């Protein structure tokens, strides 16, 4: 292996830069030429390559986002788009590609590997919905950002004896909401994986006041059937009967832009370096992830065929601890 390329794809995640740095410097250590591809699969199709030396990835380990840029690229979902991508890789004599990204990005990585091109994935998405890793790069930092907001909302909620609702990201996965709810001490948690009746949420909040709590907090995942907009509408419509208002905060992209914390920097450094070690052994078509504290390679075929389970026992833990 002499010439490899790396790209970041999908939603950016804190720690992507640390992963790029690890890929580049471990690759250079092996004596390889490493190229960065700008703006994910869109840059791959367009041939937007840049040579990366050790100094080019200096000073980025502590920065959020991705120095290479990221993109959603619908064209890569088509066979024509992937054939163009393959052509640019062959034209530049690239022998392997490292894809740093989430669920959709790894489906793309698998599709490329099915075209006989050596690809290796690095698990990175704040959604934590990727099979083959217990935690992806960016999740820990995104959770910290959500928690900081939740803690602040609780302060003002307590001063005014109010009910607050916070919507967190996660696409169709409730992981961020569940963890932010447990760690933030929420009175109710709403996730896509569990059907929730708004009346039951209202009852939870009333019960919290009756127990003498100065505030009531709901954490909702953006992908839930009743997300922030849906619940706000419902509570507004039934305001008279329910007897209280719900103040709504949607955190949105603020969760993605944080500077990576220690956990994400370490995870990204380990996964990026492990991707290169695997390529050096001639292994590819796998996703590098963290399972039981160890860096593990899971075949991309398995990653794309499976849904990552969510530990719903934490909902019960949250209920008990909110007493």
Q: Which residues are catalytic?
A: 127
**Residue 221 phi, psi dihedral angles, 5° rounding:** -85, 145
Residue 286 contact partner, candidates ligand F6P, ligand ADP, none, CB within 5 to 8 A by sort of partner: none
Q: In what order do the strands lie in the sheet with 188-190?
A: 188-190, 216-221, 163-168, 246-250
Q: Could you give the CA distance from residue 127 to residue 173 in angstroms, rounded to a whole number?
A: 7
CA gyration radius, the chain: 22
Task: Identify which of residues 103 and 196 has a Cβ nearer to ligand ADP in the complex.
Answer: 103
Position 102 contacts ligand ADP (CB under 6 A): yes
User: 36-55: which residues touch ligand ADP (CB under 6 A)?
Assistant: 41
Helix 175-184 and helix 139-160, axial crossing angle in degrees, nearest 10: 50
Residue 126 contact partner, candidates ligand ADP, ligand F6P, none, CB within 5 to 8 A by sort of partner: ligand F6P
Q: What are the angstrom distances between the C-alpha of 214 and each of 160, 199, 207, 239?
A: 8, 21, 12, 20
Task: Identify which of residues 63 and 250 has a Cβ nearer to ligand F6P in the complex.
Answer: 250
Q: What are the angstrom distances between the C-alpha of 233 and each of 116, 138, 198, 244, 245?
A: 50, 32, 11, 13, 11
Supply the minimum distance, in Å, between the C-beta of residue 21 and ligand ADP: 20
Residue 215's SS3 state is: coil
Task: Identify which of residues 127 and 187 has a Cβ nearer to ligand F6P in the complex.
Answer: 127
Residue 108 contact partner, candidates ligand F6P, ligand ADP, none, CB within 5 to 8 A by sort of partner: ligand ADP
Position 76 contacts ligand ADP (CB under 6 A): yes
Task: Identify which of residues 248 and 279 has a Cβ nearer to ligand F6P in the complex.
Answer: 248
Residues binding ligand ADP (CB under 6 A): 9-11, 41, 72-73, 76-77, 101-105, 107-108, 111, 125
């Amino acid at each position: 292996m002499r010439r490899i390329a790396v790209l970041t794809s999908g939603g950016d995640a804190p720690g992507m830069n640390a992963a790029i740095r690890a890929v580049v410097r471990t690759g250079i250590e092996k004596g390889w030429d490493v190229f960065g591809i700008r703006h994910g699969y869109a840059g791959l199709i367009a041939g937007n390559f840049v040579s990366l030396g050790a100094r080019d990835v200096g000073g980025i380990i502590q920065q959020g986002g991705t120095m290479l840029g990221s993109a959603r690229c619908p064209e890569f979902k088509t066979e024509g788009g992937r054939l163009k991508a393959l052509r640019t890789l062959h034209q530049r004599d690239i022998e392997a590609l490292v894809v740093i990204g989430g669920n959709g990005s790894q489906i793309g990585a698998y599709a490329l590997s099915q075209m006989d091109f050596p690809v290796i994935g690095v698990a990175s998405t704040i959604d934590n919905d990727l099979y083959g890793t217990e935690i992806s790069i960016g999740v820990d930092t995104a959770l910290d950002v959500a928690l900081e907001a939740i803690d602040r909302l609780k302060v003002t909620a307590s001063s005014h004896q109010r009910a607050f609702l916070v919507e967190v990201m996660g696409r169709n996965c409730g992981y961020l909401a569940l963890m932010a709810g447990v760690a933030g001490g929420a009175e109710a948690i709403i996730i896509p994986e569990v059907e929730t009746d708004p009346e039951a949420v209202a009852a939870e909040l009333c019960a919290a006041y009756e127990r003498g709590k100065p505030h009531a907090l709901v954490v909702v995942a953006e992908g839930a059937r009743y997300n922030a907009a849906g619940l706000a509408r419902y509570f507004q419509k039934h305001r008279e009967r329910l007897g209280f208002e719900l103040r709504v905060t949607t955190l949105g992209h603020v969760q993605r832009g944080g500077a990576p914390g220690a956990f994400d920097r370490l995870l990204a450094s380990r996964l990026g370096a492990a991707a290169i070690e695997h390529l050096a052994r001639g292994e590819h078509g796998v996703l590098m992830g963290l399972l039981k504290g160890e860096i593990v390679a899971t075949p991309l075929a398995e990653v794309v065929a499976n849904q990552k389970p969510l530990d719903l026992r934490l909902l019960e833990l949250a209920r008990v601890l909110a007493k």
